[in-house]
Amino acid sequence: MAPPASRLAAALLLAWLSLPELLVSFAHALPRPGDPHRPLILPLSKAPRDSSSSASSSSCSRERDHHRRRLLGSELPRSPSARMRLYDDLLSNGYYTTRLAIGTPPQEFALIVDTGSTVTYVPCSNCQRCGKHQDPRFQPQLSSTYQPVKCNAHCSCDDARKQCTYQRRYAEMSSSTGMLGNDLVSFGNESELTPQRAVFGCEIVETGDLFSQRADGIMGLGRGYLSIVNQLVEKHVIDNSFSLCYGGMGMGGGAMILGSIVPPTGMVFSHSDPHRSPYYNIELKEIHVAGEPLKLTPSIFDGRHGTVLDSGTTFAYLPAKAFLAFRDAVTENVRSLRKIPGPDPKFQDVCFAGAGWDISRLSEVFPKVDMVFGDKQKLSLSPENYLFKHTKVPGAYCLGIFQNENDETTLLGGILVRNMLVTYDREKNKLGFWKTNCSELWKRLQDTGSPTPAPLVPQKHNNTSAISPSIAPSGLTPNSFPDEFRVGIITFNMSFSIKSSSGKPNFTEFEELIAHELGVSTSQVHLLKFTSSGNQFLVELAIFPADSADYFSNTTAMSIITRLRDHHVQLPERFGSYQLVEWKIEPQKKRTWWQRNYLAVAAVASVALLLTLTSIALWFVWKNNWQQSGAYKPVGVVIPEQELPPLVIPEQELPPL
């Protein structure tokens, strides 16, 4: 979700837009399910972060933006068919991933949700050069339903001319090459849609970022025959539409909906021209900052490839003149803040300090930004849609909109649509935008008749099998709490093995790491006990509310529990492998009058004691002074005579006459 050390020229970033897509024809006669137009709904939720420090996450994200897979080339769904979680978030890993299962029996993979790609692919078991990813490689020989796509006149073939191949090269010079196969693809155990056959890529060679990333592969949502959306539409499983909803700053979560939805009231639309490019574009005409339009001509947003929306890109990139006008307008409206350098000295980030910690109040400090489309419809952006947190200065924020160097294309990444439902209506050639709380989307889906999952209530989870923290489990309960429930304490047991033989690890450092990973203060994390056997340790920790609180807010509690439950905690390599053995949450305990007011009572007692001691000290001082000054003698009292000492005058010799 961010660019490399040197922001590559826009021409290099977008030169690959014009690369032709590999078109492979295929036909599969499958029975049509009972409801052919039920939308497919997949939940999006945050996932494990890299082991890299958060201080470098933003710069690493921008590195990936320039090196990303860009070929640059009031009602919700009525009958959802499937729900899946999406892991990772834009400003930690640079992408969102979802879990797809391929084959019989299913083999699960974490795939990047990418509207700029048209092929879905995963590493193959016989891959000659593939990196170490989140899940084991796909093994075609273990799937009873796998079929190779045979060589034909409409595809590139292998040397033996037996099987179709694919190849994708990206702007940052990463690439994916492999064989095309056909197998059953399922969308999670909450899906109402039966598994569907689809063509996908089985990687043989991957290079660049594709080799080094944690995610297994790509889920292509672009316009093209191999796109998973196109294939489902061709089978009449879903309508020709899908929607994405990314969670807000620091939250993640949300949903992806494959299929059409009834547009919510207030959704803003822009025309999208499928003939201009295979990528999703919009008709951007103006940008307003604090209600004032930037002094730009509409044609500036129509250069080269126009204005492109790409979920695989983290930040936004404007042509040089538009960026400078936007930067100056925002700076003019935040004069009360102090400009500071960005977190990474390699970039000339525009950052401001003094905005405060409370994200919900950023709109009181930073100006509102409006995007005006061709039909004069206006999309309002909040600060979280164009800012990212400074990773080294608390309460500081940086512009997440950059200059697209040497290129006239306007590229809008995921940051611009956080907490926004975006509908890609391919049938009507338009894109819709609707501001909402994506992290709470599932509650609204439940209210509209979708499958109601079990609520998250106080319970104990025991995992008897080892679960790698890097594997994002599927089919977990969604994030919800009964309204009346208050979380008082969160405890969990974690086992890990340290790699060094230096004995007991530094548990103070361990508590700090856990606090950082869970997003709480170090003072809230307490090591209750630990046991060890050689280099293997089992620790029990407790997370308490902040000192000034009696319980966790639902947002904070869900953030902590989700990270624990979904194995989001990432420890440095020196702690080796680990697994979450058990976790539980305890409700807020009702405290007695003395427990609730002991501080006030102690304060009053302290003041009373201080006043008493002060009074006693003053009395003793007064008494001592009175005694030293002597007692009062009444008139007429006989005073004994005192003999005066004789007066001795020294003799002096008289001078002679």
Q: pLDDT of 506-562, one tens digit each?
A: 788 888 888 877 878 888 888 888 888 777 788 888 888 887 677 777 767 777 877
Pair 250, 438: CB distance under 8 Å: no
Using alpha carbons, list the distances in angstroms from residue 330 to 187, 286, 366, 408, 526.
Answer: 43, 15, 8, 21, 43
Half-sphere exposure of 79 toward its Cβ, with a 13 Å CA cutoff? 10
Let me know whether 465 and 436 are in one domain.
no
For residue 654, the model assigns a pLDDT of 59
88 is catalytic: no
Q: Which residue has the tokens 């204005």?
A: 307
Q: Which residues contact 42 (CB under 8 A, 6 or more apart)?
A: 82, 83, 84, 85, 86, 98, 187, 188, 255, 256, 257, 258
Let me know whether 110 and 196 are in one domain.
yes
Give the whole-number percent of the chain exceeding pLDDT 70.
68
Where does 442-589 show beta strands of DSSP type E? 460-462, 487-497, 525-533, 536-543, 578-587
Let me know whether 424 and 303 are in one domain.
yes
Let me know whether 57 and 156 are in one domain.
yes
Q: How many CB atoms lie within 10 A of CB 72?
A: 28
Let me know whether 289 and 388 are in one domain.
yes
In the predicted model, is pLDDT for residue 644 greater than 50?
yes
CA 607 distance to own-chain centroid: 48
Let me know whether 104 and 166 are in one domain.
yes
The listed range with the strongest mean pLDDT (35-44, 75-84, 93-102) is 93-102
Number of folded domains that form the chain: 3
For residue 548, the model assigns a pLDDT of 64
Q: What is the pLDDT of residues 239-251, one digit of tens each?
A: 899 998 887 776 6
Closest alpha carbon to 335 in 355, 363, 359:
355
In a domain, residue 359? The reply is: yes
Let me know whether 428 and 295 are in one domain.
yes
For residue 222, the model assigns a pLDDT of 92
Closest alpha carbon to 517 in 44, 45, 54, 56:
54
* Active-site annotation holder among 65, 89, 114, 239: 114
Let me know whether 439 and 495 are in one domain.
no
Closest alpha carbon to 82 in 194, 216, 238, 192:
192
The H or E element containing residue 546 is none
Q: How many CB atoms lie within 10 A of CB 458?
A: 13
114 is catalytic: yes
In the predicted model, is pLDDT for residue 331 greater than 80?
yes
For residue 34, the model assigns a pLDDT of 35
In the predicted model, is pLDDT for residue 297 greater than 90?
yes
Pair 540, 529: CB distance under 8 Å: yes
Handedness of CA 138, 140, 142, 144 (dihedral sign): positive
* Active-site annotation holder among 183, 310, 344, 349: 310
Exposed, middle or buried by CB within 10 Å (0-12, 13-18, 19+), for 315? buried
Please tell me whether the peptide bond between 319 and the residue prior to it is cis, using omega within 30 degrees of 0.
no
Pair 123, 226: CB distance under 8 Å: no
In a domain, residue 215? The reply is: yes
Query: Which pLDDT band holds residue 477 (cuts at 50, 70, 90)?
Result: very low
Give the span between the Cα atoms of 606 and 117, in whole angstroms: 69
In a domain, residue 121? The reply is: yes
Let me know whether 480 and 563 are in one domain.
yes
Half-sphere exposure of 373 toward its Cβ, with a 13 Å CA cutoff? 18
For 74, the domain range is 10-24+35-249
Q: Which residue has the tokens 């994002």?
A: 472
Which of 546, 566, 587 is a domain's end point? 587
Let me know whether 113 and 158 are in one domain.
yes
Task: Tell me which of 239-243, 366-370, 557-561, 617-621 is least confident.
Answer: 557-561
In the predicted model, is pLDDT for residue 307 greater than 80?
yes
Beta sheet of 316-318, edge-to-edge order: 281-282, 307-309, 410-412, 316-318, 401-403
Three-state secondary-structure class, residue 583: strand
In a domain, residue 607? The reply is: no
Give the span between the Cα atoms of 567 and 544, in whole angstroms: 20
Query: What DSSP letter does each residue of 50-87 carry, written as one string?
Result: PSS-GGGHHHHHHHHHHTS---------SS------EE
| DSSP classification of residue 26 | -
Which of 234, 249, 264 is a domain's end point? 249
Let me know whether 300 and 440 are in one domain.
yes
Averaged confidence pLDDT in the chain: 76
Closest alpha carbon to 72 in 27, 106, 26, 21:
21
For residue 445, the model assigns a pLDDT of 56
Closest alpha carbon to 298 in 374, 358, 389:
374
Alpha helices by DSSP H, listed for 28-138, are 57-66, 90-93
Q: What is the pLDDT of residues 175-192, one digit of tens each?
A: 999 999 999 999 876 666
Which of 526, 560, 587 is a domain's end point? 587
For residue 61, the model assigns a pLDDT of 52
CATH at residue 504:
3.30.70
In a domain, residue 594? The reply is: no
In the predicted model, is pLDDT for residue 300 greater than 80?
yes
Q: In terms of pLDDT, which residue wins out, 85 or 135? A: 135
In a domain, residue 393? The reply is: yes
Give the span between the Cα atoms of 183 and 189, in whole angstroms: 18
Pair 42, 187: CB distance under 8 Å: yes
In a domain, residue 260? The reply is: no
CA 581 distance to own-chain centroid: 25
Query: Which pLDDT band holds residue 564 (cuts at 50, 70, 90)?
Result: confident
Give the span between the Cα atoms of 280 and 220, in whole angstroms: 13
For residue 253, the model assigns a pLDDT of 65
In a domain, residue 557? The reply is: yes
Q: What is the pLDDT of residues 5-58, one digit of tens each?
A: 333 334 333 444 444 343 333 333 333 333 444 444 454 544 444 433 344 445
Read off the pLDDT of each residue in 392-401 and give the average, rounded to a whole number: 92
Cα radius of gyration rounded to whole Å, the chain = 34
Give the span between the Cα atoms of 340 and 397, in whole angstroms: 10
Closest alpha carbon to 482 in 556, 587, 564, 583:
587
Angle at 445 between CA 441 and CA 446, to 5 degrees: 120
Give the whole-number percent of the chain exceeding pLDDT 90.
34
Q: What is the pLDDT of residues 373-391, one digit of tens each?
A: 998 999 999 999 999 989 8
CATH at residue 336:
2.40.70.10
Let me know whether 121 and 164 are in one domain.
yes
Amino acid at 47: A
In the predicted model, is pLDDT for residue 497 greater than 50?
yes
Task: Tell me which of 221-225, 339-343, 584-588 is least confident.
Answer: 584-588
